[in-house]
Structure 1
Amino acid sequence: MPPRFRPLLPALLAVACLLAGVADATPKKKHPAPVRAEDAPDAVIYGGRDDVMRFGAELAERQGLDAAWVQSQLAESRYIPNVAKFIMPPPAGTAKNWAAYRSRFVEPKRIRAGLAFWRDNEKWLARAEELYGVPAEIVVGIVGVETIYGQQMGGFRVIDALATLAFDFPTGRRDRSGFFRDELEQYFVLCHSEAVDPLALRGSYAGAMGMGQFMPSSWNRYAVDFDGDGRVDLHASGADVVGSIAHYLAEFGWQRGMPTHFDVAAPVDVADRAALLVPDIVPSFTPQEFIAHGAALPAAARESGDKLALIELQNGDAAPSYVAGTPNFYAVTRYNWSSYYALAVIELGQAVKAMR
């Protein structure tokens, strides 16, 4: 509306409402009118959405579940505005800073909690390393970065988080609603197989659960009953958490005895450095190719024969940091597609190990 007409807006709206015979001038939405929960008047529930109920019926048919059960649970799920907010990427132009990122995770509180977690689960960590080849410090690092060893596992109802992102994924970034619909389907499979109330579990804004923050599909595929008690509990069983994380990494290519990364002096020449950075975190170059592009590697890296990736970590306005990532570094990034995350996991685990 042109600025000169804005003072007339309240009067115009009042006239429009009178003519329409309604008391609410709220614009219509593309979805059916929201249904609000009686116990929380501000909460929009999905029970009034035909598309959600159809999804529930189709999900039940695909997975051999009771349709009435699935739909009744979905009918209680709610749209959570903060979920839609938190899934958005950081504002454009936000500078990455490895030193600042590292300081959030490799710090005294997590190290102390990591020591207690290692002590309490020493038997399971040793067994997981023997079975899957994943060192204890890597598992300890993941649990520490993800949830501070179970202290921060998320307060959102998982069904609400997944439904929000499945049916009302926010605009402004690449649409991942299909991914979250698949995860919502896997969540019902999980709740059915583990005899869990779908309305009871809580997790992150993205629907990740437990000490290791497994998405439902990862829980169904990779979680293991490591203590043999007949159920998988990633919220309270340290044994199951340790075994499941180690199993996950092994399935994503962890190789026994291989380092995660080596020190490296990146090429001085911009073109050579850019060539090594093209594959990002995917190990793509032999040590000899690194050297041919002007990178300097320690003897252990030169003799390893494994493919490497030049990992660049920005430090704000300061010079970037670099490491040469191995296939095991890449395996850690399968847990979270971020070199910053992977190196924080590795260095937190190393810090806890050094304090033992």
Structure 2
Amino acid sequence: MVAAPTANAQPAPQAASAQEAQQRQWRMQLQTFAGSLTDDAELPAQWVAQVLGQAQYNARVKRLMTPAPGTTTTVRDWQAYRARLLTSARIESGVMFWRRHQRTLQDAELRWGVPASVIVGIIGIESSYGQNTGNIRVLDALATLAFDYPSEHPRALERADYFRRELVQFLRMARSNGLDPLQLRGSYAGAMGIPQFMPSSWMLYGQDFDGDGRVNLIDSPEDAIGSVANYLAAHGWRAGQPAYFDVALQADDAQKAALLAPSILPTFDQPGLVALGAQLLPAGQRYDGQMALIELRNGAQPAEYVIGTENFYAVTRYNQSSYYALAVLQLGEAVQQRLQQQATSVAPPANF
């Protein structure tokens, strides 16, 4: 019988040596990378070297990014996903957030055309209204993935290049907004703040919506609200238009395959949907834009379907998942409905 390892057992010498060598190589690549930025006018060379010199390899980040062995598909379950995200606690937090920032939400909707409910839905799903923004140092997460992205990933080289670009944007973002790059914390992928923006999104779409002269998505709900609205508008949100419709689906297998072939990309006009057996509900509803049939699987149970518009597609630019997009939209609707119910329950009689 082989004795069980003790709780304080140390790694085998060969394994420890391999890990040390790997991390030495990682550190050398990071130093070389710092040297390659010396010609960047926005990033002083000494400051870059000082910051990157304090980056720490994070093995947990790599582990979280590593695909599980032997898994190629995931069983999707919309109802389980929805139940996990649209909780009573999250809806109540959304009500409080909406009330606290009602004026800012109204201003953002007026400026960018994105409804308050959609902004509230995204912030609620992303960070539970700022309550859960991540606890991993962003510098370490980005540096680890930039130079030691899991080789098991089918697009490992491409993903590593992406995180190198994000690392540069992170340095620019921190310096231009007066933020300490050694203190910023976020998700294991490097997403930050109330709206969980990656550094490039922060730089491209971040808004100083509270007027203090800098974009701060960590501590400013106003900046977060404006930035989310700006992001969606930049990705095709159409003001005053719906994001999805319920659908009556009477398609045969061939028609359904044709409807699902473009995935979430809006491809069909309304006559085209009807010709393939998909009718918007309520019956007779009109929409002049392009649409897509969205399939939401429920594990072993029958799938559900909705019709997504260009606005639904815009939400998927934030996270490329139809499940995510519908959860965002329905969370926002649930918060708005709860607000309206509470307002009705405390309203005085009409003849008061």
Shorter-chain TM range is 0.7 to 0.9
Distance 1:326 1:268 in 2: 19
1:107 to 51, 63, 87: 87
Return 299-308 or 103-112, whichever deviates more. 299-308
Q: Secondary structure at the match of 1:281?
A: coil
Q: Secondary structure at the match of 2:293?
A: strand
Q: Secondary structure at the match of 2:306?
A: strand
1:68 to 2:51 alignment: no
Identity %: 47
Amino acid at match of 1:99: Q
2:266 to 263, 266, 283: 283
Q: Secondary structure at the match of 2:279?
A: coil
- Assess, with a 3 A threshold, how the Cα gap between structure 1 residues 335 and 63 changes in structure 2: closer, same or farther: farther
2:75 to 82, 88, 95: 95
Report the CA distance between 1:300 and its aligned residue. 7.2
- Normalized against structure 2, the TM-score is what? 0.87
1:172 to 138, 145, 152: 152
Distance 1:34 1:249 in 2: 39
1:155-304 superposed matches below 5 A: 155-173=135-153, 174-175=155-156, 176-298=159-281, 303-304=286-287
Q: Secondary structure at the match of 1:83?
A: helix
1:114-164 deviations in whole A, cap 9, x for unaligned?
011101100000000000000000000001000100110000000011011
Amino acid at match of 2:166: E
Distance 1:279 1:202 in 2: 37
In the alignment, what sits opposite 1:325?
Answer: 308
Report the CA distance between 1:206 and its aligned residue. 0.4
In the alignment, what sits opposite 1:138?
Answer: 118
- Assess, with a 3 A threshold, how the Cα gap between structure 1 residues 309 and 60 changes in structure 2: closer, same or farther: farther
Give unpaired runs (5+ residues) of structure 2: 3-11, 340-352
Give unpaired runs (5+ residues) of structure 1: 1-6, 8-22, 36-44
- Assess, with a 3 A threshold, how the Cα gap between structure 1 residues 280 and 291 changes in structure 2: closer, same or farther: same
RMSD: 2.2
Is this contact kept in 1: 2:264–2:292, CA < 8 A? Answer: yes
- After superposing on structure 2, the runs of 4+ consecutive aligned residues of structure 1 that deviate more than 6 Å are none
- Assess, with a 3 A threshold, how the Cα gap between structure 1 residues 294 and 300 changes in structure 2: closer, same or farther: closer
Is this contact kept in 1: 2:23–2:57, CA < 8 A? Answer: no
Return 256-265 or 293-302, whichever deviates more. 293-302
Amino acid at match of 1:76: Q
- Assess, with a 3 A threshold, how the Cα gap between structure 1 residues 27 and 199 changes in structure 2: closer, same or farther: closer
Report the CA distance between 1:63 and its aligned residue. 4.7
- Assess, with a 3 A threshold, how the Cα gap between structure 1 residues 325 and 88 changes in structure 2: closer, same or farther: farther
Return 91-100 or 269-278, whichever deviates more. 91-100
Distance 1:210 1:113 in 2: 17
- Assess, with a 3 A threshold, how the Cα gap between structure 1 residues 218 and 301 changes in structure 2: closer, same or farther: farther
Distance 1:242 1:323 in 2: 27
Q: Secondary structure at the match of 2:294?
A: strand
1:83 to 2:72 alignment: no
- Normalized against structure 1, the TM-score is what? 0.86
Q: Secondary structure at the match of 1:150?
A: coil
1:10-89 superposed matches below 5 A: 24-26=13-15, 29=18, 32=21, 34=23, 49-89=27-67
Distance 1:186 1:316 in 2: 39
Is this contact kept in 1: 2:251–2:276, CA < 8 A? Answer: no
Amino acid at match of 1:310: L
In the alignment, what sits opposite 2:342?
Answer: none
Distance 2:96 2:51 in 1: 38
Report the CA distance between 1:268 and its aligned residue. 3.0
Q: Based on CA coordinates, which of the two structures has the bigger radius of gyration?
A: 1
